[in-house]
Amino acid sequence: MAPKFRAFLIHLTASGGMALLTMCVVFCLWYPSPLAGAVGVAAITFVLLGVDVVIGPVLTLIVYKPNKPSLRFDLAVIVGLQLAAFGYGVWTLSEGRPVWLVFSVDQFELVQSYQVDLRKISQAKPAFRSLSWIGPQWAAAKRASTPEEKKAILLESLVAGVDIAQRPEQYVPLEDQAADIRRNSRPLEDLSQYNSAQTLRHELKKWPEADAFLPMMARVKPVTVLIHKESAKIIAVVDLNPWL
Torsion sign (Cα): 150, 142, 102, 21: positive
Q: Residues 70, 72, 78, 84: what is their CA dihedral angle, to the nearest 10 degrees?
A: -130
Angle at 127 between CA 118 and CA 169, to 5 degrees: 40
pLDDT tens string 132-174: 999 999 999 987 777 777 777 777 777 667 889 999 999 999 9
**Residues in the chain with pLDDT values less than 50:** none
Taking the C-alpha atoms of residue 93 and residue 81, their distance in angstroms, rounded to an integer, is 18
Helix (H) and strand (E) counts in the chain: 7, 8
Question: Is 49:23 a contact under the CB 8 Å cutoff?
Answer: yes
pLDDT tens string 30-49: 999 999 999 999 988 988 88
What is residue 149's predicted lDDT score, i.e. its pLDDT? 73
* 11-17: long-range pairs with CB below 8 Å, 24+: 11/56, 11/57, 11/60, 12/53, 12/57, 15/52, 15/53, 15/56, 15/57, 15/82, 16/53
